[in-house]
Structure 1
Amino acid sequence: MMDTSLNDKTPRSMSERSTERLDSWKEIAAFFRREVRTVQLWEKSEGLPVKRHHHIKLGSVYAYRHELESWWASRCSGHGAPQVDSALTPGKPKLSTFSAEYPRSEDPGPAYHASMMGLYFWKQRTRVDLLKAVGYYQEALLLDPTYADAYAGLADTYVSLSYNHLMPARQAMESAKRAVDSALALDPHSINVRNAEINFRANCAWEWAAAERLCQSIVETGLVNSRTFQLYASLMINLGRHDEAIRLSLHAHRLDPLSDIVNSQVSFSYFYAGDYDNSIAFINRAIELRPQFSMGHALLGRTHAERGNWEQAIRSFERGLEVSTDSALLKALIAYGHAGLGDSDRASEILQEIEADAGNECFPAYDVSAVYALLKRQDQAVEHISRAYEMHDIKMTYIQYDPRFKSLRSLPQIQQITASMFPVPRTRSATLQQSH
């Protein structure tokens, strides 16, 4: 069987040759377990070998499985992949980059396949899929307790559960730490393990300096993948180094232009830099790649809101709520949209509905605070941001630069919180500084 691991879904094996020819975009997409639009983009931008009938029906396409498998294997091996800008590492012409999030082997075994299923469901980001991801990673570890990359994937999934308010933040942090520690003990040199460590240190432990040193050390080795640059860019946003965040996220995009996660990261970087045109362009691409991406719709709505397009913002937030599982976070964003539109009664009505579940440890206090801030209900805004801090809400990492909290940042209570979170003066990345 051909091993075709990549940083996303894998095509079906060559044993499924009973229908060698695929006769529609739908069949080709099903072969890769992707959306039709995604494989159409692959044909345009990456040379996916799709053929056309010129004398039958206009637009009719077909492809052969073995050609698709050969193309996929070439893509996995990095042949023809975009190179990382050598400006990141002066004196080095290029970096060795990896497409696969799990290393390939001649006989990967059942633990590997369980981990790949975990990776697939982790990337979906919905409540049901993230819980499935936990199950598959745990199954992989039952099959092979020494499989470090399964621990890494498990850690990333706990972080995602926390970010999406599907697991109490402190519980997720503790679970992620145990998984990262186990992964590091087994294989401290795995790029997936190192990336999981960055994710944990930056988003859960709030160890900014340690996370940046780790990013720098990985980049200096030259053994990186798009996930490394994506996480590095996210860290730079938290530290207010927006130009660096944009550059790093664009490097990630060159390595994996068809990743919804990477396109979302580029959008985030532009958003926090105040470049809303580019932010919208990249988040629209992320949504095009994964229409059920609820956080993509959330970011699109927030970008429209910053441009004063409140009705468009509400539509985006409502679409995000539709594709999520009754997310209280998306409800808070809808309330935010109505507050911005001037409909304080509707905003307050939604807030009242959300507050009925205020005892829930997954309560989205950070985003509820933003609504109160926009309604100029300062005491309640401060109360909720303080609660988000006590809960260790991952989104608190954005507090210094989130435009929704501009009116609160001069308050002593908020300054005390940010001082406790960011005690180390911000310094420029030594690795990137050399390239300027």
Structure 2
Amino acid sequence: MSQNTSMQLVSKASSFLLSKDEQNPNNVRRSLKANIMLTGRINRLDDNLIVNCQLIDTESNAQIWGEKVTLKTGDILKIEEQIVSSLLASLPKRFKKEELSSKSWSDNSEAQAHYMKGRALSYGSTQEETELALNHFREAIKIDKDFVAAYVAIANEKQVQAMFATDTRADIFNEARLAVQTALRLDPNYAEAYTVDAMIKFYQDRDWDAAEASYKKAITLDPNNANALIRYSFFLATLKRYDEAITMAEKAVVIDPISISSLHNLGWANLLDENYEEAEKAFSDALEIHPNWIWGYVKRSYTHMYRNQCDLADKDLNKARNLIGDWGSELLESCFIFVYDNCEITEKKNKAIERYLTRVTESNYGDPIAMGLVYNAKRDFDESIRWHQIGLDEETNSFYMFTLDYVYPKEILLDPRFKQMKRDLNLPQ
């Protein structure tokens, strides 16, 4: 529907947050700001699946479109295609694009099954889940070599894999790049392919002009793609173009009003632009919906810290710690130290630094930038510079940290070595 209609779609992640009791037109309109909802019901009768679905106007509660499909259980993938085809064929003309984009499914049911299994595992929390998702996407394109969405899914998942450092960056991004190029050869107007292409150019090539061109192309092809808007907003914030970043983030929230990604990005852009009240509101809105979001408490603690509300900052970190347990990621632990340092919570800071440097050493570190931040809190700026240089040499994905002026003391920001690193990255000083 995103590819083939002019509808502004709320993401599945947001819509699925509504409880069963809330899944009615009035709540959808109030909670998601949506004036149309697609709903349905599946019943099993012996070996048959009976699927009823409707498109409903949430203001008038009137049905715009409806479909009933009965198929054998083994034909489940055909139901998806039949429903989508029927919906697109019978939608009122005002919703349709003049030229339809390619389908996001395969006509081969086996290829589609692999794709759907991969999507279920996509963005896995473990290296194993990520690899399983990739294997399903690879099987999908073996069966259907023209399956555009599966190629894009491979490229996207490879970038997730890069976070786990399961292979060299070159090998990881080479497969992603080939997959995107294949997708764009098959369909040069597939919007999501340009979003992933932009991410490759941003994180791997560090070609800011090329990355921005791809982000803009993705948004031109699909102005209602929240993921493209979020990614582009993060890109703009990295280049310190905060007004533009906030504009993109606000558009993403309109499209996807209750997801962590959209609200986090709005909070992040405002935080960097020193709009601390707006940042706190965005993080708080997200935490109201996602009360177990660890990074939300950490990021909100920054907004308190910068307004000298250190008791509230410490309270948020305590909530985060209760959710994390004894240890989180290296970056997460360095963020605790950063807040303790700036809020002058000295005892907690010293204990956290000692624990960090006992646990993370020269021989087992995973995040050199996080190590540099810990040495900032120790006031060992030469050692901090050394670790940042290691991060630069290792082509860390965390290079965006170099533009976060609020993270660094003046001794680092004014150091000629640090300035040279930013010039090497072609980042704004």
The two structures have a TM-score, normalised by structure 2, of: 0.70
Task: Name 1:180's counterpart in structure 2.
Answer: 177
Which segments of 5 or more consecutive residues in structure 1 lack a partner in the other structure? 13-24, 33-38, 51-62, 79-93, 427-436
The Cα offsets for residues 91-127 of structure 1, whole Å up to 9 and x where unpaired, read as xxx9979xx9x9544857344454445445545x7x3
Rg: which structure is higher? 2
Are residue 389 (structure 1) and residue 392 (structure 2) matched?
Answer: yes
Task: Name 1:245's counterpart in structure 2.
Answer: 245
Task: Name 2:405's counterpart in structure 1.
Answer: 402
* 2-structure distance, mates of 1:207, 1:46: 37
SS at match of 1:399: helix
Deviation at 1:386, TM superposition (A): 1.9
Closer/same/farther in 2, CA of residues 9 and 347 from structure 1, 3 Å limit: closer
Task: Name 2:150's counterpart in structure 1.
Answer: 150
Report if aligned partners of 2:115, 2:140 keep a CA contact under 8 Å in 1. no
Deviates more, 1:259-268 or 1:148-157: 148-157
* 2-structure distance, mates of 1:278, 1:268: 10
Task: Name 1:367's counterpart in structure 2.
Answer: 370
Within 5 A, what are the aligned runs for 1:32-431?
A: 44-46=31-33, 65=41, 69-71=53-55, 103-105=103-105, 109-122=109-122, 127-128=125-126, 131-145=128-142, 146=145, 147-160=147-160, 162=162, 166-167=164-165, 171-172=168-169, 174-188=171-185, 189=188, 190-221=190-221, 225-324=225-324, 326-355=328-357, 356-359=359-362, 363-407=366-410, 408-422=412-426
Deviation at 1:318, TM superposition (A): 4.5
Closer/same/farther in 2, CA of residues 352 and 148 from structure 1, 3 Å limit: farther
Question: What letter is aligned with 2:140?
Answer: L
Deviates more, 1:67-76 or 1:366-375: 67-76
Question: What letter is aligned with 2:404?
Answer: Y
* 2-structure distance, mates of 1:184, 1:64: 36
Which segments of 5 or more consecutive residues in structure 2 lack a partner in the other structure? 1-8, 43-50, 58-63, 66-83, 89-94
The structure whose RCO (Cα within 8 Å, separation 6+) is larger is: 1
The Cα offsets for residues 263-286 of structure 1, whole Å up to 9 and x where unpaired, read as 111111111111111111112223
SS at match of 1:240: coil
Closer/same/farther in 2, CA of residues 345 and 237 from structure 1, 3 Å limit: same
SS at match of 1:258: coil
* 2-structure distance, mates of 1:131, 1:322: 26
Identity percentage over the alignment?
12
Question: What letter is aligned with 1:214?
Answer: S
Count of paired positions? 366
Closer/same/farther in 2, CA of residues 212 and 179 from structure 1, 3 Å limit: same
> RMSD value over aligned CA atoms?
4.2
SS at match of 2:237: helix
Question: What letter is aligned with 1:390?
Answer: D
* 1-structure distance, mates of 2:150, 2:291: 27
Deviation at 1:196, TM superposition (A): 0.9
The two structures have a TM-score, normalised by structure 1, of: 0.69
Question: What letter is aligned with 2:31?
Answer: K
Question: What letter is aligned with 2:344?
Answer: G
* 1-structure distance, mates of 2:14, 2:113: 10
Deviation at 1:290, TM superposition (A): 3.3
Report if aligned partners of 1:321, 1:330 keep a CA contact under 8 Å in 2. no
Deviation at 1:310, TM superposition (A): 3.2
Question: What letter is aligned with 1:258?
Answer: I
Report if aligned partners of 2:28, 2:34 keep a CA contact under 8 Å in 1. no
Deviation at 1:239, TM superposition (A): 0.9
Deviation at 1:241, TM superposition (A): 0.6
* 1-structure distance, mates of 2:276, 2:201: 29
Closer/same/farther in 2, CA of residues 109 and 172 from structure 1, 3 Å limit: farther
Deviates more, 1:267-276 or 1:195-204: 195-204
Question: What letter is aligned with 2:138?
Answer: L
SS at match of 2:234: helix
The Cα offsets for residues 223-279 of structure 1, whole Å up to 9 and x where unpaired, read as 661211111111111111100101111122222223221111111111111111111
